[in-house]
């Protein structure tokens, strides 16, 4: 199924039993259950005002098209969208709707917030076939309930996104990365020290014994802050590959399960040591990617009380492990209640509900 | 402004309800004497007043849960209240309601610089959150202008912003978790000291829900290391349009000031007469503040100056020292008070695309002339959040109504150009009946369904946010 308009989409939803919503199929987690609903027909940038830092696009618009348009005005999506194709072993064209459905955010999340923080407005079609708009295209908007945040990261379980508006960012003129060889836990302690300094860090990652700190902004300012951090932590300027951190490239084409942990940063080092798994840390330790070759580690047990874990890539031995961390009963009740209101016939993404 | 007719059966049961509340709360936490409940008859939207049935001032989450459990059983509406500084009537009582004030819940529960968060009870005031950590070089970023008095609970309810949210975002961008007590007394922990939700982003919809989904008793807030310094500049222009273009050019150049504030001529003149900040007598002025080390500040200001100069400003005033910096901010910070010296005023909060600024200011001027009420504009220009101040005389019959009609027309104009009714104050009762201008019935129904999930009996702050006719069936049920 590939609707070309909101009204066609609405009709399809009303007639459907179970739909697997798919943009480009590049980043979805969980199982594919139901007929594939391909949103790539709902494509195109509808408004772009560089002077107001605002972009409105239909949900099926390829991410690459948006990136190219923004780059032509030296702007970008600030939240640094990960490309998950290599690590998930997928092909396809990532769409902006898929990015929002996954609330996909990269290293710069520590500085500018997540995809949901840049999202100003949505249009979507719910499980009744109703076309709903919420938010808008202005930077500040507290008019009514914020369904925009609710839709970002809902993985399509509340509705099919059709149109999205974003606050975008000017590309800074300078970028510098500082690097030091640091084992755990010192590597993460240094990253937290950098994040706790006034030097406005836009990336704080740790991979294979190296701690990396990114600074962006005006040339003079970046040079000044880099100097301060060099003195403070003993890091040195070095070439770096933030795309590899963002895309979890080190775990691509490797056997095993891949977990994404969102946790209290100070817990990261001990947790990694306890589990004994290969790890990539981002967000100063707040985001931990784990590769579990045997798919046997009790990752869910390890994050209980300090955050949550999403099974991004399951191995064949893990068919019974849900993709998302189970929620506390009161939270699960509210979540189930919202899903029942927005999708009363349980049409959307049955494979991503747990 | 219509409010629902109080439920006579509830009013008649007052003594029984008070007795039940007293059974779960300390004696000083239940206020039922009409002479004392009157202190809670309004918030900062003082044009509307109504004493509540009873006021409770619990000190713990458990006490809040006990109160809500009782009110749920008795089917008594509850209006949550932070510090009562809402400009939208968010905490306006009805005669049959329990006011649940969180002002006595003001403790700092945990401070964790390594993980960059603070956990507080929700009655703590905004400024005292920063107060608890600033000696260590940290701050909490959202800074509504009522920050000395307003509570975190109210900030979360209204998703409050402030002058500096151009860089740091509003409350929702700085909130990591809450303890929420639902209307039936269920206590829910949502989020925590980690980033992003593991499931559906409940925190995102709780923030800004105007106390209609639950009572937030504790909050985990993101905190930031204080920048090394900050400095404002003042730029005066002879046209609103040129000032608006200058704002757009600065933003487009990729400079990220922490604040870009805008004042128009009526506001500048009123402010000068009141605060004597030494502002130039011009059509429009911008106050632009940047942050960083002295060299970083100099770098940003030289860029801003270069852009501003291409627009031929009548004045470009830099602050050589702390004292001059204070004088630049003095007028802006006194502007509401200055307008209040002239007359009563109503403060609007519509937001527009920055590109529509010149058109909207011109239209407001024309509308002001047509209806005979003066208006001054002072607002956060960087994000298009306008604060037109309409002057009226509360003692003059019909003036409030004229002012409200003018205000409604301005907000309709904001929506018409692609903006919204409220950028940071919230809907409350003030903009409730205008919601249909921005949302169609299907859009509104989707929001009502969210409340159905959290508060199926519609007892929490029920007469706010949505037009009364839209919610009538739900509130009655």
CB contact under 8 A, A221 and B292: yes
Same domain, B124 and B265: no
Report if residue A208 sits inside a domain.
yes
In eight-state DSSP terms, residue A333 is: H
Chain B residues close to A136, C-beta within 8 Å: 418-420, 438
B185 touching A, CB under 8 A? no
Residues 6 or more apart in contact with residue B210 via CB below 8 angstroms: B90, B157, B158, B426, B427, B428, B461, B464, B465
On whether the CB atoms of residues A240 and A213 are closer than 8 A, the answer is no
**Interface touch A103/B161, C-beta < 8 Å:** no
Based on the fold, state whether residues B49 and B139 are members of the same structural domain. Answer: yes
Residue B295 to residue A224, Cβ atoms within 8 A: yes
Q: Which of A10, A125, A144, A308 to mutate to test the interface with B (most CBs of B within 10 A)?
A: A144
Angle at A300 between CA A296 and CA A304, to 5 degrees: 150
Statement to judge: residues B48 and B173 lie in one domain:
yes
Q: Using CA atoms, how far apart are residues B249 and B231, in angstroms rounded to an integer?
A: 20
Number of domains in chain A: 3
Q: Domains in chain B: how many in total?
A: 2
On whether any CB of chain B is under 8 Å from the CB of A10, the answer is: no
- Does residue B210 share a domain with residue B325? no
- The answer to whether residue B443 sits within a structural domain is no
Chain B residues with beta carbon closer than 8 angstroms to that of A339:
200
Do the Cβ atoms of A213 and A194 come closer than 8 Å? yes
Q: Are residues B281 and B364 in the same domain?
A: yes
Q: How far apart are CA A349 and CA A20, in angstroms?
A: 5
pLDDT band at A317; cut points 50, 70, 90: confident
Q: Does residue B393 belong to any structural domain of this protein? A: yes
Place of tokens 């009141």: B274
Query: With an 8 Å Cβ cutoff, is A336 touching chain B?
Result: no
Tell me: do B175 and B235 sit in the same domain: no
In this prediction the pTM is: 0.97
Q: What is the pLDDT of residue B351?
A: 96
pLDDT digits (tens, 9 = 90+) for A214-238: 999 999 999 999 999 999 999 999 9
Are B276 and B152 found together in one domain? no
In whole numbers, what is the pLDDT of chain A averaged over residues?
A: 96
On chain A, the residues whose CB falls within 8 A of the CB of B295 are 220-221, 224
pLDDT in tens, A3-15: 999 999 999 999 9
**B145 shares its domain with B236:** no
Verify that B186 and B264 share a domain, yes or no.
no
Structural domain harbouring A98: 6-170
Q: Which of A90, A91, A82 is nearest to A114 (CA)?
A: A82
Determine, for residues B207 and A149 on separate chains, whether the beta-carbon distance falls below 8 Å: yes
- A335 at B interface, C-beta within 8 A: yes
Q: Do residue A160 and residue A180 come from a single domain?
A: no
- CA neighbor of B377 nearest in space, from B289, B292, B270, B459: B270
Say yes or no to pLDDT of A353 above 70: no
Is B306 part of the contact surface with chain A (CB cutoff 8 Å)? Answer: no
Cβ-nearest to B190 among A172, A198, A331: A331
Domain that holds residue B285: 230-416
| Closest listed residue to residue B152, CA positions, set B133, B181, B182, B172 | B172
A138 shares a domain with A117: yes
Are both A110 and A200 inside the same structural domain?
no
HEC string of B217-249 equals: EEEEEECEECCCCEEEEEEEECCHHHHHHHHHH
| A279 and A221 both lie in a single domain | no
Q: Do A129 and A116 share a structural domain?
A: yes
A260: chain B residues, CB-CB within 8 Å: none
Q: Do residues A117 and A77 both lie within one domain?
A: yes
- Chain A contact for B192 (CB, 8 A cutoff): yes
Nearest CA in chain B to A49: B355
Q: Are residues A208 and A162 in the same domain?
A: no
* CATH code where residue B61 lies: 3.30.465.10
- Whether B116 has its CB under 8 Å from any CB of chain A: the answer is yes
The backbone torsions φ and ψ at residue B348, rounded to the nearest 5 degrees and listed phi first, read: -95, 175
ipTM more than 0.90?
Answer: yes
Question: Is B86's Cβ below 8 Å from some Cβ in A?
Answer: no
CA distance B296 to chain A (A): 5
Cα distance between residue A106 and residue A249, in whole Å:
13
Tell me, yes or no, whether B201 lies in a domain: yes
Nearest-Cα distance to chain B for A1, in Å, is: 25
And the tokens for B353?
Answer: 């695309």
Q: Report, as an integer, the average pLDDT of A179-205.
A: 98
Same domain flag for B202 and B235: no
Residue of B nearest to A331 (CA): B188
* B contact residues 332-371, partner A, Cβ 8 Å cutoff: 351-355
The terminus-to-terminus CA distance of chain A in angstroms comes to 24
| Element of type H or E holding B187 | strand B187-191
- Assess A308–B contact: CB distance below 8 Å, yes or no: yes
Quick check: is B85 in a domain?
Answer: yes
Query: Sign of dihedral through CA atoms A194, A199, A200, A201?
Result: negative
pLDDT confidence band for A316 (50 / 70 / 90): confident
What is the pLDDT at residue B256?
Answer: 86
pLDDT at B477: 47
Contact B190 A283 (CB under 8 A): no
Contact between A143 and B192 using a beta-carbon 8 Å cutoff: no
Interface membership of A218 toward B (CB under 8 Å): yes
Is residue B435 assigned to a domain? no
Q: What distance in Å separates the CA atoms of residue A240 and residue B292, rounded to the nearest whole number?
A: 26
Asked whether A245 and A285 are in contact (CB, 8 A), the reply is no
For an interface test with A, give the residue of B195, B305, B441, B465 to mutate (most A CBs within 10 A). Answer: B195
The pLDDT value recorded for residue B241 is 86
Quick check: B384 and A140 CB within 8 A?
yes
The rounded percent of chain A whose pLDDT value lies above 70 is 99
Asked whether residue A217 is domain-assigned, the answer is: yes
The reply to whether B431 falls in a domain is no
| A280-295 mean pLDDT | 97
A341 domain-assigned: no
CATH at A258:
3.30.70
CB-CB under 8 Å, B438 with A143:
yes
Tell whether A148 lies on the interface with B, counting CB pairs under 8 A: yes
Answer whether B446 sits within 8 Å of A134, measured CB to CB.
yes
Most A CBs within 10 A among B194, B206, B305, B380, hence the mutation to make, goes to B194
Contact A144 B300 (CB under 8 A): no
- Contact A137/B353, CB-based, under 8 Å? yes
Which residues in chain A are closer than 8 Å to B352, comparing Cβ atoms?
Answer: 138
Of A133, A134, A153, the CB nearest to B197: A153
User: Would you call B425 and A142 a contact, using CB atoms and an 8 Å cutoff?
Assistant: yes
**B61 at A interface, C-beta within 8 A:** no
A329 touches chain B (CB under 8 A): no
B215 in the same domain as B81: yes
- pLDDT higher than 70, residue A273: yes
Using CA atoms, how far residue B43 sits from B1, B376, B455, in Å, is 15, 23, 24
Nearest CB to B199: which of A53, A109, A335? Answer: A335
CATH number at residue B411: 3.40.462.10
Sign of CA dihedral B279, B282, B283, B286: negative
Same domain, A84 and A64: yes
Low-confidence ranges of chain B (pLDDT < 70): 477
Q: Decide which of B367, B384, B416 is a domain's last residue.
A: B416
Q: Answer yes or no: do A17 and A108 share one domain.
A: yes
pLDDT digits (tens, 9 = 90+) for A97-138: 999 999 999 999 999 999 999 999 999 999 999 999 999 999
In a domain, B81, yes or no: yes
**Do the Cβ atoms of A341 and B444 come within 8 Å?**
no
Task: Kindly state whether A232 is in contact with chain B, defined as any CB-CB distance less than 8 angstroms.
Answer: no
Chain A hits for B252, CB-CB cut-off 8 Å, are 50-51, 53, 73, 170
B95-147 confidence digits (pLDDT tens): 999 999 999 999 999 999 999 999 999 999 999 999 999 999 999 999 998 99
DSSP 8-state symbol, B430: T
Boundary-marking domain end, from A203, A220, A246 = A246
Q: Does A334 contact chain B (CB < 8 Å)?
A: yes
In a domain, A127, yes or no: yes
Asked whether the predicted pLDDT for residue A345 surpasses 90, the reply is yes
What pLDDT score does A354 carry? 60
Residue range B433-477, pLDDT digits in tens = 999 999 999 999 999 999 999 999 999 999 999 999 999 999 974
What is the nearest CA distance from B353 to chain A, expressed in angstroms?
6
Three-class HEC string of A287-325: EEEEEECCCCCCHHHHHCCCEEEEEEECCHHHCCCCCCC
- The reply to whether residue A139 touches residue B442, judged by beta carbons under 8 angstroms, is no
A 93-122 residues with CB below 8 A of B? 103, 105, 109, 113-114, 116-117
Q: Is the separation of the CB atoms in B123 and B151 below 8 Å?
A: yes
Out of B227, B252, B427, name the one closest to residue A51 (CB).
Answer: B252
């Amino acid at each position: 199924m590939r609707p070309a308009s909101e009204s066609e989409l609405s009709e399809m939803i009303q007639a459907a039993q179970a739909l697997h919503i798919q943009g480009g199929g590049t980043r979805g987690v969980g199982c594919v259950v139901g007929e594939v609903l391909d949103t790539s027909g709902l494509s195109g940038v509808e408004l772009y005002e560089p002077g107001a830092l605002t972009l409105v696009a239909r949900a099926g618009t390829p991410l690459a098209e948006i990136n190219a348009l923004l780059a032509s005005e030296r702007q970008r999506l600030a939240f640094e969208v990960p490309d998950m194709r290599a690590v998930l072993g997928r092909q396809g064209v990532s769409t902006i709707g898929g990015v929002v459905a996954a609330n996909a955010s990269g290293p710069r999340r520590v500085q500018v917030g997540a995809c949901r923080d840049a999202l100003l407005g949505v249009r979507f079609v719910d499980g009744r076939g109703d076309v709903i708009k919420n938010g808008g295209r202005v930077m500040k908007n507290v008019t009514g309930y914020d369904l925009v945040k609710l839709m970002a990261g809902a993985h399509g379980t509340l509705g099919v996104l059709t149109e999205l508006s974003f606050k975008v960012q000017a590309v800074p003129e300078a970028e510098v990365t500082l690097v030091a060889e640091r084992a755990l836990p010192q590597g993460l302690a240094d990253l937290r020290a950098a994040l706790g300094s006034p030097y406005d860090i836009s990336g704080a990652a740790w991979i294979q014994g190296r701690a990396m700190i990114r600074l962006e902004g005006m040339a003079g300012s970046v040079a000044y802050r880099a100097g301060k951090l060099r003195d403070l932590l003993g890091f040195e300027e070095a070439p770096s590959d933030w795309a590899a951190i963002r895309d979890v490239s080190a775990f691509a084409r490797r056997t095993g399960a891949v977990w994404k942990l969102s946790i209290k940063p100070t817990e990261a080092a001990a947790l990694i040591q306890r589990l004994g798994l290969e790890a990539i840390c981002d967000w100063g330790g707040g985001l931990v990617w784990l590769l579990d070759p045997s798919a046997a580690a009790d990752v869910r047990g390890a994050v209980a009380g300090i955050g949550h874990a999403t099974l991004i890539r399951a191995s064949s031995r893990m068919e019974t492990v849900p993709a998302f961390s189970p929620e506390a009963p009161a939270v699960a009740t509210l979540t189930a209640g919202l899903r029942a209101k927005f999708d009363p016939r349980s049409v959307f993404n049955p494979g991503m509900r747990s | 402004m219509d409010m629902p007719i109080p439920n006579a059966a509830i009013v008649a049961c007052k003594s029984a309800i008070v007795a039940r509340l007293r059974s779960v709360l300390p004696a000083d936490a239940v206020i039922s004497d009409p002479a004392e409940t009157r202190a809670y008859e309004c918030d900062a939207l003082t044009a509307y007043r109504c004493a509540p049935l009873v006021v409770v001032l619990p000190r713990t989450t458990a006490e809040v849960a006990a109160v809500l459990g009782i009110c749920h059983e008795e089917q008594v509406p509850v209006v949550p209240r932070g510090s009562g500084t809402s400009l939208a009537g968010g905490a306006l009582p009805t005669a049959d309601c329990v006011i649940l004030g969180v002002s006595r819940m003001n403790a700092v529960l945990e401070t964790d610089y390594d993980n960059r968060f603070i956990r507080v009870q929700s009655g703590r005031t905004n400024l005292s959150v920063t107060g608890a950590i600033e000696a260590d070089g940290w701050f909490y970023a959202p800074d509504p202008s009522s920050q000395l008095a307003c509570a975190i609970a109210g900030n979360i309810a209204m998703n409050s912003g402030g002058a500096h949210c151009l860089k740091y975002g509003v409350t929702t961008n700085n909130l990591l978790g809450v303890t929420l007590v639902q209307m039936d007394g269920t206590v829910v922990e949502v989020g925590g000291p980690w980033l992003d939700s593991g499931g559906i982003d409940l925190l995102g919809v709780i923030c800004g829900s105007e106390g209609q989904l639950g009572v937030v008793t504790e909050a985990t807030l993101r905190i930031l290391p204080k920048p090394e310094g900050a400095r404002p500049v003042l730029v005066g222009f002879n046209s609103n349009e040129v000032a608006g273009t200058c704002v757009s050019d600065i933003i487009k150049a990729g400079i990220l000031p922490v604040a870009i504030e805008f004042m128009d001529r009526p506001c500048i003149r009123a402010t000068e007469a009141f605060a004597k900040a030494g502002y130039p007598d011009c059509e429009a002025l911008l106050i632009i503040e940047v942050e960083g080390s002295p060299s970083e500040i100099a770098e940003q200001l030289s860029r801003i100056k270069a852009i501003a100069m291409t627009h031929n400003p009548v004045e470009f005033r830099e602050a050589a020292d702390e004292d001059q910096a204070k004088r630049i901010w003095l007028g802006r910070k006194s502007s509401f008070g200055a307008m209040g010296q002239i007359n009563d005023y109503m403060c609007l909060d519509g937001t527009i695309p920055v590109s529509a600024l010149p058109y909207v200011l011109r239209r407001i001027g024309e509308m002001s002339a047509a209806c005979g009420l003066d208006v001054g504009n002072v607002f956060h220009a960087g994000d298009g959040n306008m604060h037109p101040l309409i002057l009226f005389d509360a003692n003059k019959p019909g003036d409030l109504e004229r002012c409200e009609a003018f205000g409604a027309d301005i907000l309709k104009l904001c929506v018409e150009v692609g903006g919204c009714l409220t950028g940071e104050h919230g809907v409350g009762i003030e903009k409730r009946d205008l919601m249909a201008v921005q949302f169609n019935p299907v859009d509104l129904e989707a929001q009502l369904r969210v409340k159905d999930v959290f508060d199926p009996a519609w007892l929490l702050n029920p007469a706010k946010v949505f037009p009364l006719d839209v919610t009538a069936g739900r509130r009655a049920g």
